Structure 1
Amino acid sequence: MTSFTDLKLDPKVLKAIDAAGYTTPTPIQLGAIPPALEGRDVLGIAQTGTGKTAGFTLPMITMLSKGRARARMPRSLVLAPTRELAAQVAENFDTYAKGSRLTKALLIGGVSFKEQDQLIDRGVDVLIATPGRLIDHFERGKLLLTGVQIMVVDEADRMLDMGFIPDIERIFEMTPFTRQTLFFSATMAPEIERITNKFLSNPERIEVARQNSTSEAIEQILIEHTPRRRDMAAKDKREILRAVIERDGSALRNAIIFCNRKTEVDVVAKSLRKHGYDAEPIHGDLDQSQRTRTLDGFRDGTLRFLVASDVAARGLDIPNVSHVFNFDVPSHAEDYVHRIGRTGRAGKTGIAYTLSTPSDAKYLEAIQHLVGTEIPRGESPWIAPAPKAERDQIEEDAPKRASSRSRSRKKDKPEAAAEPVQDAQDAQADVATTEASVAAPRDNRRDRDSRGEEDRGSRRGGRSRQDNGPKVVGLGDHVPGFIEMSFEERRAEG
């Protein structure tokens, strides 16, 4: 079996590897290190968690052991898609460069330009950066890339997903044509292959695993759930998540829970904390210092649950992750491979749960087509509560009552409409009578009022004033017609 001592690495590098506890190189390291030490371009294709970072860091440190950095002109350049991955590369460099005098600078967002400028001005051997921040420094005139001897592009497929390919092409053109290029990716999309054909010269291609394959050390479980209502899907999945955590018990040491949206990341983390679980969110909208603290806490075991967007899915070396949860089925099939690759690393086993609803069917089909196998189904430990019998009866009776009320309103509607018509006719008659009374002489008003009352009586019930008996006396000359009715006669009729 080949060991690191057989790879012609610098003795100081071998000593650092031994101090880190590594003895045997992984397949990607075994395939990439020898041609890299020969100065050849390398195209490495391997699934996440196979040790690609050490595959380019170790030969790079060995080759840079001779020479000296100049101000603003780094001797090597490593491009990473995210701040976390760039910081991880910097940590690997610190681990393997112990005993050497090589210097580094980390250029990522969320950190002061002034501090980064000071490092560049002193001169660095290794510059580790995200594409956006690197271009910012270049456009400010603080950085020259004409001295780059070795250029590394890590997680190139993630660069493609994040829209960095135009920036990568621009950075390639800033560096010397004679540079050595080490290009690593988990998948090879057509756009990535176009770039490698354009910027790599006769590269050594190392493919240690079938593209888009998942590790056999990871037990994959799919939990399918049909929500009670569409708007209850997220709430039901949070219930299922907590039920699985409780069921797995002590076997679940820690877990990364992946969500598709940043807002969902915050909601799930808050929900877990509310129910007594130690959980923190991590996504691109958070401050870099907070993201760093959260990752450090998860790595050292003080944080049990890390709820993350896909910013944490690619390339992060977080050891001893026992579980991964796909709270949302990823919309890009390749992300499934990278997400579950956070567990089952370095020879350890892991479990990856995926929670799906009927709306995820097309994404699930694409994932299974990509990995070439069907994800085993598992039982959900959570059962949705049955609705109350009273609620069922109410929902069953509701349509009947609604139709009954509707019919009742339709039946009553003509009669209700008739009253305003009659009232309007009466009002018109009253107005006409009043106007006539005002215009007539004073001594004739009472007779006209009486006639008007007789007309209204005949319209309302067919009765006239003569039918109501003698008048009530003692109320003066101008008594309204309805008061002149005989109350005794009306009471008798009643």
Structure 2
Amino acid sequence: MTAFSDLKLDPKVIKAIDEAGYTTPTPIQAGAIPHALEGRDVLGIAQTGTGKTASFTLPMITLLQKGRARARMPRSLVLAPTRELAAQVAENFDVYAKHTKLTKALLIGGVSFKEQDQLIDKGVDVLIATPGRLLDHFERGKLLLTGVQIMVVDEADRMLDMGFIPDIERIFSLTPFTRQTMFYSATMAPEIERITNMFLSSPARIEVARQATASETITQGVVMFRAGRRDREATEKRALLRAMIDAEGEACTNAIIFCNRKVEVDVLAKSLKKYGYDAEPIHGDLDQSQRTRTLDGFRAGSVRILVASDVAARGLDIPAVSHVFNYDVPSHAEDYVHRIGRTGRAGRSGKAMMICVPKDEKNLADIERLIDKEIPRLEPPEGHKSAPAPVPAASDEAGEEKRPRRSRSRSRSRDEAPSEAPKQAPEPVEAEAKASPEAAPEAVESPRDETPRETETRNESRGEGRSEGRGGRRGEGRGRRGGKDDAVVGMGDDTPAFIAKSFAERRAG
């Protein structure tokens, strides 16, 4: 069995490894470190949790022992897709390089540029960064990459998934052609093949496990869930998750719950807190200081449940996670491997459970096709009760009763309205005229008061003899044009009563 002492690492690095409690390298470390120490490009493919970070950190520290950093010109560069992963790489570097004089700088969002600029100005041996913040410093003229001797891309497939291809290509173009390049990833997508062919020179390919496989120490399962009512799916699904957590009892010492959307992360974390669970959210939209506090609390045990988006799915080394719950089936099958890889690390046992609703069954099939095995189906926990679903027969009968009622009400309104409107409309005006003869002309002159008469006139004009009325009116209109005694010229029987009344009053005056 290979030991770290057999890998030709610097004695100071070996001492740090011994103090950290490690004696035997993992397969990816044993396969990649010798090639990296020879200066070759490395393409490392291994499932998450197998020690990829140490497989490039240890040879980097050994190779950088000779030489000296210059201001604004880092000697090596490590790119990570997320702030958390970059911070974790920095922590590993601190552990393994504590007996050396090598310096580092961490460039991530959420930290002031001023502090980062001060570190760069002093000169650093190792620069650990996310692509966006690295390019920000470069464009501000605070950083030069022409002195980079070793370049590492960690979680390369995640870089590509997050749309960093243009940034990665630009960063590569800013580094020397003679650099040593190492790509590390859990999966090997066709797009990564193109990138590696473009930027790596005859790399040593180290693949210690079949692509996209889950650790054998993880017990997997999925609950097929169908809500009683569509509008209650979210509520019933959250109730099912709580029942699953409760069913695990004391075995669930801590857990990470993964959601597909950031909004769902916040909603679910708030719901769990409401029901008394110690849960905190973490996703990319949160402030960096809050994300750091949440992760530190989860590692320390003060936070039991971490509700996360995929920002926490890749590369985060959180020890002793007992459970992973996939509240949503990941839309990308590869993400499933990374999510459940947060548990069962370093030979520990873990449990990964998932909730699948009908719309996610296609994604579930893609996952099973990728991992080349069927995920065992689990029954919902005993005592779990979904919201009461409506009985189909009752709902159908209710629907049948409502439809005829609406149709009858419409038929009554159509049949009764024409007969009632002419009878009821004139009554208020006639009553007012009888009660106050002097006020009657004023009431007639008001267009609002005459609205019923206008309605009655229109209803009469829409009667059965409408076509005859049109013809008669046209004929009468032609005959009246020369008459002098006509009250209104050109409007015929369609003249509103209040207009005709006003003309009659003027003629009488």
Q: Is the pair's TM-score, using the shorter chain for normalization, greater than 0.5? A: yes
Q: Distance in 2 between matches of 1:131 and 1:211?
A: 26
3-state SS of the aligned residue for 1:144? coil
Q: Which amino acid aligns with 1:66?
A: K
What do the CA deviations read for 1:249-294 (whole angstroms, capped 9, x no partner)?
Answer: 0000100000011110001111111111111000001010110010
1:291 maps onto 2:291 in alignment: yes
Structure 1 counterpart of 2:109: 109
Which residue matches 2:259? Answer: 259
Q: What amino acid sits opposite 1:264 in the alignment? A: E
Q: Map residues 73-222 of structure 1 onto 2, 5 A cutoff.
A: 73-222=73-222
Q: Distance in 1 between matches of 2:123 and 2:428?
A: 100
How far the C-alpha of 1:386 sits from its partner, in A, is 3.6
The match for 2:61 is 61
1:300–1:421 Cα change, 3 Å: same
Pairing 1:447-458 to 2, within 5 Å after superposition: none
Q: Cα deviations across residues 185-233 of structure 1 (Å, max 9, x unaligned)?
A: 1111122111111111111000111111111111111001101222322
* 2:23 corresponds to: 23
Q: Partner of 1:229 in structure 2?
A: 229
CA distance in 2, matches of 1:376, 1:80: 34
The aligned amino acid for 2:17 is: I
Deviation at 1:328, TM superposition (A): 0.6
User: Which residue does the alignment assign to 1:443?
Assistant: none
Does structure 1 retain, via aligned residues, the 8 Å contact 2:228–2:387? no
What CA deviation, in whole Å up to 9, does each residue of 1:377-402 have, x standing for no partner? 0011123144599x986874464255
CA distance in 2, matches of 1:218, 1:311: 21
Q: Deviations over 1:406-453 (max 9, x none)?
A: 42552475245312223457789999999x999xxxxxxxxxxxxxxx
Q: In the aligned structure 1, how far is the partner of 2:40 from the partner of 2:347?
A: 30
Contact 2:258 2:307 (C-alpha < 8 Å) held by counterparts: yes
Task: Summarize deviations over 1:344-383 as a string: whole Å, max 9, x none.
Answer: 1100111111101001122111111111111110011123
SS at match of 1:266: helix
One-letter code of the match for 2:386? Answer: A
Residue identity opposite 2:422 in structure 1: V
In the aligned structure 2, how far is the partner of 1:210 from the partner of 1:283? 30
Query: Match of 2:378, SS?
Result: coil
CA distance in 1, matches of 2:371, 2:127: 35
SS at match of 2:347: coil
SS of residue matched to 1:182 = strand
SS at match of 2:49: coil
- Residue equivalent to 1:384: 386
Name the CA distance, whole Å, in 2 between partners of 1:429 and 1:277: 74
- Mapped partners of 1:429, 1:288: distance in 2: 79
1:260-275 paired onto structure 2 within 5 Å:
260-275=260-275
Secondary structure of the 1:222 match is strand
What are the Cα deviations for residues 302-339 of structure 1, in whole angstroms up to 9, with x where unaligned?
11000000000001111100100110111111111100
1:141-171 Cα deviation digits (max 9, x unpaired)? 1111111111101000000011001111111
Q: Distance in 1 between matches of 2:152 and 2:53?
A: 10
- Look up the match of 2:420: 419
In structure 1, distance between residues paired with 2:342 and 2:397: 49
Pairing 1:430-469 to 2, within 5 Å after superposition: none
Which amino acid letter does the alignment assign opposite residue 353 of structure 2? Answer: Y
Write the letter of the residue equivalent to 1:403: P
Partner of 1:477: none
Is residue 38 from structure 1 mapped to residue 38 from structure 2 by the alignment?
yes
Judged with a 3 Å threshold, the aligned counterparts in structure 2 of structure 1 residues 397 and 38 are, in CA distance, closer, same or farther, namely closer
The aligned amino acid for 1:110 is G
* SS of residue in 1 equivalent to 2:307: strand
Computing the radius of gyration from Cα coordinates, the structure with the larger value is 1
Distance in structure 2 (CA, Å) of the matches to 1:259 and 1:114: 35
Q: Secondary structure at 1:319's aligned position in 2? A: coil
Task: Quote how far apart the aligned CAs of 1:68 are.
Answer: 1.1
Kept in 1: contact 2:10–2:62 (CA 8 A): yes
Equivalent AA in structure 2 for residue 134 of structure 1: L
Q: CA distance change for structure 1 residues 396 and 71 in 2, over 3 Å: closer, same or farther?
A: same
1:4 lines up with 2:8 in the alignment: no
The aligned amino acid for 2:249 is G
CA contact (8 A) 2:228 2:389 kept: no
Q: CA deviation at 1:79?
A: 0.4
Shift of the 410–50 alpha-carbon distance from structure 1 to 2, 3 Å rule, reads: same
- Summarize the alignment of residues 304-343 of structure 1 with structure 2, pairs less than 5 Å apart: 304-343=304-343
Q: 1:174 to 1:397 in 2, by over 3 A?
A: closer
Identity across the alignment (%): 72
1:151 alignment partner, SS class: strand
Structure 1 residues 128 and 409: CA distance shift in structure 2, 3 A: closer
